[in-house]
């Protein structure tokens, strides 16, 4: 039994949520915070941290207890992500991509698939993610070219994916493929298939400006053979719909990351503004700095409320792409804003790796382009507003 599952979780209980968050915060203080700079500067995968998260049960955070998961609400989950991201954002990505894959399997997988995979996903015995993006295809997923051709009771997969989280250190990916390249519209020919590493795919780690430590890879599938039973769902052609449903939770996660990073940037800036002196007094007493802190704090609080609203909508079981899109848009732009303002408040010290500010400054841009660019979020929001009104 993992550590968090020892807490009897009642989704309506603030006390049990507090106990869960306290457990996570103790883990962050002891097992993450002391090692961030070492792993981040060397771009080294934090295996011991990932293993500890498995012990805590975070790889099964949103999986139903029926399959060994914690069954946490999106509201509690988003608060966990915020707290993790305030310490080191990269760590949240390890279990987020994994849980999007899990959500697709739990929502749409066959009974046999769920019974076999979900307990292993929840325990962290099998860890993975989702493989959507391709070298020539990012936001426009209908243009993917990775193919899965049926061969009796198997699929033969060929193609390339890129910017895939957990592709190097993980052991399985939910891969978006074309099972029918002739059907129109293109999304009707797209399917989601679980591909395990034992099936022979090759992954290469990519270098990045920020978001270091976590493995982000380029994956090549060269005549990879998988069982037809690895198709998520009963029939082909449902892949895009399945993955878009999971991305609602993914966007709430990214919004929560933005909240966590924004909070860290503000907290560090307040602490610095109290101790750094210019013209004979702490810089926090200068109006120019106070104005910056006020706007950073206001945007942070608005981001947190939008993220909570999106999580509540997701927990209701109703479509939540509008709320998730708004939260993702605003919270990630806030992360970019707060990290930039923190850099200005810290001046030259913010540019030094001796402070965490330069890491926030490098990590924040990922949030506005990951899980769908913010330009795409605006289109999703506008379309939904026009439908609802």
**pLDDT tens-place string over residues 233-275:** 999 999 998 988 778 888 999 999 999 999 999 999 999 999 9
CB 158 within 8 A of CB 193: no
Distance of CA 195 to the CA centre of its chain: 20
Which of these, 45, 352, 31, lies nearest to 208 by C-alpha position? Answer: 45
> Are 300 and 223 contacting, i.e. CB atoms less than 8 angstroms apart?
no
Q: How confident is the model at residue 293 (pLDDT cuts 50, 70, 90)?
A: very high
> 284 — alpha (psi -120 to 50), left (phi > 0) or beta?
alpha
Distance CA 378, CA 321 (A): 11
Specify the pairing of strand 172-178 against strand 128-131. Answer: parallel
> What does 206-271 look like in DSSP terms, one character per residue?
PP-SSS-SS-EEEEEEEEEEEEGGGBSSSSSS-HHHHHHHHHHHHHHHHHHHHHHHHHHHHHHHHH
Banded model confidence at residue 288, pLDDT cuts 50, 70, 90? very high
- Indicate whether 3 pLDDT > 70: no
Pick the CATH number of 4-123 from 3.90.1150.10, 1.10.230.10, 3.90.850.10, 1.10.540.10: 1.10.540.10
The CATH superfamily label for domain 128-238 reads Butyryl-CoA Dehydrogenase, subunit A, domain 2 (2.40.110.10)
Partners of 359 in beta bridges: none
Sequence-ordered list of residues with C-beta below 8 angstroms from that of 233, at least 6 positions apart, any chain:
108, 109, 110, 191, 192, 242
Backbone dihedral region of 133: left (phi > 0), alpha (psi from -120 to 50 degrees) or beta?
beta
pLDDT at 134 over 90: yes
Nearest C-alpha neighbor of 335 from the set 256, 250, 252, 259 = 259
- Alpha-carbon distances, residue 250 vs 93, 179, 257 (angstroms): 10, 25, 10
Q: Is 375 a catalytic residue?
A: no
pLDDT of residue 244: 82
pLDDT, residue 11, reads 46
Residue 10 predicted with pLDDT over 90? no
pLDDT digits (tens, 9 = 90+) for 183-205: 999 889 999 999 998 767 889 99
Instruction: Please report the pLDDT score of residue 238 as a whole number.
Output: 94
How would residue 142 be classed by pLDDT, with cut points 50, 70 and 90?
A: confident
Every domain of the chain and the residues it spans: 4-123, 128-238, 241-388
User: Does 3.40.630.30 match the CATH number of domain 241-388?
Assistant: no
Q: How many CA atoms lie within 13 Å of 152's alpha carbon, on the beta-carbon side?
A: 1
The two tokens of residue 146 are: 């990775």
Tens of pLDDT, residues 85-123:
999 999 999 999 999 999 999 999 999 999 999 999 999
Instruction: Check 17, 301, 371, 375 and give the catalytic one.
Output: 371
- DSSP string covering 51-93, please? HHHHHHTGGGTTS-GGGT-----HHHHHHHHHHHHHHHHHHHH
Distance, CA of 25 to chain centre: 19
Distances (CA, A) of 44 to 31, 32, 152, 231, 238: 15, 13, 42, 33, 37
pLDDT at 246: 78
What is the rounded CA–CA span in Å between residue 127 and residue 229? 19
Report the number of secondary-structure helices (H) and strands (E) in the chain: 10, 9
């Amino acid at each position: 039994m993992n550590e968090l599952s020892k807490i009897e979780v009642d989704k309506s209980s603030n006390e049990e949520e507090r106990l869960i968050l306290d457990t996570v915060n103790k883990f962050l203080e002891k097992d993450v915070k002391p090692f961030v700079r070492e792993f981040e500067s060397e771009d080294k995968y934090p295996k011991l941290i990932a293993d500890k998260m498995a012990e805590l049960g975070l790889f099964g955070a949103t999986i139903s207890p029926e399959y060994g998961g914690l069954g946490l609400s999106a509201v509690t989950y988003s608060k966990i992500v915020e707290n993790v991201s305030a310490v080191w954002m990269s760590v949240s990505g390890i279990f987020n991509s994994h849980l999007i894959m899990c959500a697709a399997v739990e929502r749409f997988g066959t009974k046999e698939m769920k019974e076999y995979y979900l307990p292993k996903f929840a325990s962290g015995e099998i860890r993975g993610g989702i493989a959507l993006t391709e070298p020539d295809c990012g936001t426009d997923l209908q243009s993917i070219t990775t193919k899965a051709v049926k061969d009796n009771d198997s699929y033969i997969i060929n193609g390339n994916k890129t910017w895939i989280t957990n592709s190097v250190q993980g052991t399985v990916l939910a891969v978006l493929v074309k099972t029918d390249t002739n059907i129109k519209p293109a999304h009707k020919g797209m399917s989601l298939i679980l591909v395990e590493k034992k099936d022979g795919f090759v992954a290469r780690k990519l270098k990045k400006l920020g978001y270091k430590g976590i493995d982000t890879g380029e994956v090549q599938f060269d005549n990879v053979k998988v069982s037809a039973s690895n198709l998520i769902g009963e029939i082909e052609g449902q892949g895009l719909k399945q993955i878009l449903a999971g991305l609602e939770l993914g966007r709430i996660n990214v919004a929560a990351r933005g909240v966590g990073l924004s909070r860290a940037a503000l907290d560090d800036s307040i602490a610095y503004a109290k101790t750094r002196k210019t013209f004979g007094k702490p810089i926090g007493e200068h109006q120019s700095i106070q104005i910056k802190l006020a706007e950073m704090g206001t945007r942070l609080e608005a981001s947190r409320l939008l993220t909570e609203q999106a999580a509540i909508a997701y927990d209701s079981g109703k479509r939540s792409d509008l709320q998730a899109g708004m939260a993702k848009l605003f919270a990630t732009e806030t992360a970019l804003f707060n990290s930039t303002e923190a850099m200005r408040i810290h001046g030259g010290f913010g540019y030094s790796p001796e402070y965490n500010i330069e890491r926030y400054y490098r990590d924040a841009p990922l949030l506005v382009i990951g899980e769908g660019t913010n330009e795409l979020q605006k289109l999703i929001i506008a379309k939904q507003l026009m439908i609802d009104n």
